[in-house]
Amino acid sequence: MHGKMGAVKDFAKLHKRIAILVTVGVVASVGILIAVFTLWKGKSSQSETSYREYTVSEGDVTVGTTESGTVALEDETVALPIDCEIGSVLVKSGTSVKKGDPILQIDLNSVADGSSDTRQKLEEAKISLQSALNDQKAKLETAKITYEASKYLATSAPITRELTQAQIAHDISSAQSTLQSDQKSLAEYETLQKSWAADYGKLQDLEKWMNDAQSCKTSYETQLSDFEDDNDSVISTYESLKSAVDTDEQKYLAAKRGDTTVDGYDEDEWDDMLDEARDSYDAYYDTIANTVITQKQALESKVAQYTAEYTNYSSAYNDYKETFEDKYKSNDTEMSKTEIDDKVTSLKASVETDQYNLEKAQKSAEISSVSAQQTEQTDLSTAENAEGTYQLTVNQLNEAVTVAQDSYDKLQNEMDEINSALSNNGVVSSPCDGIVASVSYKGGQSVTADETILTISGNDSISVSVSVSEDDITNVSVGQEASISLSAYDDQTLDAAVDSITAEPARSGSSSVTYTVVVKSTEKVSDVGTVYDGMSADATMVQHAVENVLHVSDRAITFQDGVSSVLVKNSDGSTSKKTVKTGFSDGTNVEITSGLEKGETVLAESTVSSK
């Protein structure tokens, strides 16, 4: 127990010593900081404000991507189109030459008669050029017609599609109408086919009944006539006695109504004569005429009966026949049962064909409609691309003419070189301004046709190849405005443009990807000075720029409460504050739109230590 308590006391003493040391350390550190601060404050009191001068200049303020690279000159080779021997070389590598300066001399005695071959090729090239020009003219006219026709498709294509769709609808409607018409006709003829037997049987019955009635009528008329002939005297006497009764009765009635005599007899006398006539009539009828007259009346009754039947059946037959003929008539001709059957068979075949044609028209409509839409899209696309197609044809024809022209010009230049050399004692002149890059032959050596004798690096334009990071390449495009600054010539820049951009990265790694961009000058390099292949240069690809403006360092601009101002150094050494309006800034210089003039000096505050 005592051992544990002693250990605790020792531990407490140790921590107490550590706490004292920490406290002393903190106090010492505070003291050091106070001393340092006091020393810094004393030194800062010895600093003073100074100013840097900037001149208001006129020029361009540009923002872009700037990369370093090396200069590449455009080489031009000197060769002769014929075999010859070099008399002497008049220049050396590195010699600056102007276009037209003598650079070598050939031995005229060594010139083979190769000019005739060049002349022949020149004539052939001339013919080819003329052919290309004629072909261009003819095909341009055809292309123009095709172009106009293709443009018209933009108007005609929708109309053609609408006409096609209208024709499709018409074909379907026509097929439906034909089917419905044939189906209606088939139904009608099938009805006739079903009713024809009964109707025709009825017609036959009526005709038979009419003919039977006519036969009976004729038969009884013949019997009556024969009977009357056989019993003529009896019938005549009977009719005479009957007529006498009728006459006496009329005269009796007349005498009775008139209370007077008729034909000299009075009423009573006529009554007696009427009774005598009736007695004679009755006696003759009862004893002689009764049977004859009864038989005659019976025959007359039969004649009247069958005459009425014939009349009725004849009327019924004629009426029904007219109805039958109207019902079964085709092209004003009554149809037979066979003809009706044939017509039904024909119409059934027509209906099947009509149904097929309708289904075909409906299925074809889908295909034709899609085809019409596709044709419309194709025509519209042709119309839309008409300008491009026409321009492509123009470009191809122009290219063909250009190729022929270049071939002709090349041969003409060769011919001119031969003629120039022959007419100038064999002296060959420089084709351009520049520096002789290399000399491959010397005097006395032979050279074959088109072999390079020497190379001249032209100074009309230069190219600078630079690597641009993937972050900046998206802001670069072919044809973009640019500038080139040569390290050998300070404060001088050449106007330029982006000539090409590689599609594949020039260098790629885990952290960086770059693309090769070639910037080519657009102004003559010789105005700057002598430029050699491989010189260092900076190429700036301009993203935005203002040209020919007043500008000054943005360090000289003070901005307070929304107002920009500068401190101007006057000619007497005094200073004055001026309010200015600023424009575009590239991060180093800022455009001055008002408030300053070219050549003025402005001051930018700068703090330096005094000694």
CB 307 within 8 A of CB 219: no
pLDDT over 90, % of the chain: 33
Q: What is the pLDDT of residue 598?
A: 92
Q: Residue 605: what residue type?
A: E
Of the listed ranges 9-13, 125-129, 565-569, the one predicted with least confidence = 9-13
- The secondary structure element, H or E, covering residue 486 is strand 481-486
CB 544 within 8 A of CB 475: no
CB neighbourhood size of 338 (10 A): 8
- When pLDDT is cut at 50, 70 and 90, the band that residue 202 belongs to is very high
Distance in angstroms (rounded) separating the CA atoms of residues 569 and 599: 11
Q: Indicate whether 317 pLDDT > 90.
A: yes
First to last CA, the chain: 72
Token digits of residue 65:
């991507």
Q: What is the pLDDT of residue 27?
A: 37
CB 74 within 8 A of CB 526: no
Convert the pLDDT of each residue in 370-415 to its tens digit: 888 888 888 888 888 878 888 888 898 888 889 988 888 887 877 7
Q: What is the pLDDT of residue 250?
A: 92
Q: What is the pLDDT of residue 607?
A: 58
- When pLDDT is cut at 50, 70 and 90, the band that residue 229 belongs to is very high
Note every long-range contact of 383-386, with CB atoms under 8 Å and residues 24 or more positions apart, other chains counting.
383/150, 383/151, 383/152, 383/153, 383/154, 383/157, 384/154, 385/150, 386/147, 386/150, 386/151, 386/153
Distance in angstroms (rounded) separating the CA atoms of residues 364 and 358: 10
Distance in angstroms (rounded) separating the CA atoms of residues 43 and 609: 9
Distance in angstroms (rounded) separating the CA atoms of residues 527 and 520: 16
Distance in angstroms (rounded) separating the CA atoms of residues 514 and 67: 11
- What stretches of 451-576 show up as alpha helix (H) in DSSP? 470-473
Nearest to 292 by CA among 247, 244, 229: 229
Q: What is the pLDDT of residue 114?
A: 55
Q: What is the mean pLDDT of residues 534-562?
A: 88
Q: Indicate whether 168 pLDDT > 50.
A: yes
Of the listed ranges 42-51, 403-412, 423-432, 544-553, the one predicted with least confidence = 42-51
Q: What is the pLDDT of residue 320?
A: 92
Q: What is the pLDDT of residue 511?
A: 65
Q: What is the pLDDT of residue 6?
A: 41
* pTM: predicted TM-score of the whole model, two decimal places: 0.42
Phi-psi category of residue 545: left, alpha or beta, with phi > 0 → left and psi -120 to 50 → alpha: beta
Token digits of residue 461:
């334009």
Residue whose token pair is 């360090």: 555
Q: Residue 345: what residue type?
A: T
CB neighbourhood size of 596 (10 A): 19
Residue whose token pair is 């790694």: 509
Q: Indicate whether 220 pLDDT > 60.
A: yes
- When pLDDT is cut at 50, 70 and 90, the band that residue 112 belongs to is low
- When pLDDT is cut at 50, 70 and 90, the band that residue 20 belongs to is very low
Distance in angstroms (rounded) separating the CA atoms of residues 124 and 600: 68
Q: What is the mean pLDDT of residues 209-222?
A: 95
Convert the pLDDT of each residue in 180-201 to its tens digit: 999 999 998 899 889 999 999 9
Mean pLDDT of the chain: 83
Q: Which residues of 241-262 are buried (b: 16+ CB within 10 A; e: fewer)?
A: bbebbeebbebbeebeeeeeeb
CB 71 within 8 A of CB 531: yes
Counting DSSP H helices and E strands in the chain, the numbers are: 8, 21
- The alpha carbon of residue 522 and the mean position of all alpha carbons in its chain are separated, in whole angstroms, by 41
- What stretches of 460-586 show up as alpha helix (H) in DSSP? 470-473
Bridge partners of 569? 575, 601
Q: What is the pLDDT of residue 50?
A: 82
Of the listed ranges 172-176, 330-334, 337-341, 520-524, the one predicted with least confidence = 330-334
Q: What is the pLDDT of residue 9?
A: 40
Q: What is the mean pLDDT of residues 477-502?
A: 87
Q: Residue 278: what residue type?
A: R
600 against 48, higher pLDDT: 600
Q: What is the pLDDT of residue 35?
A: 44
Convert the pLDDT of each residue in 75-87 to its tens digit: 888 888 878 889 8
CB 365 within 8 A of CB 165: no
Q: What is the mean pLDDT of residues 61-66?
A: 84
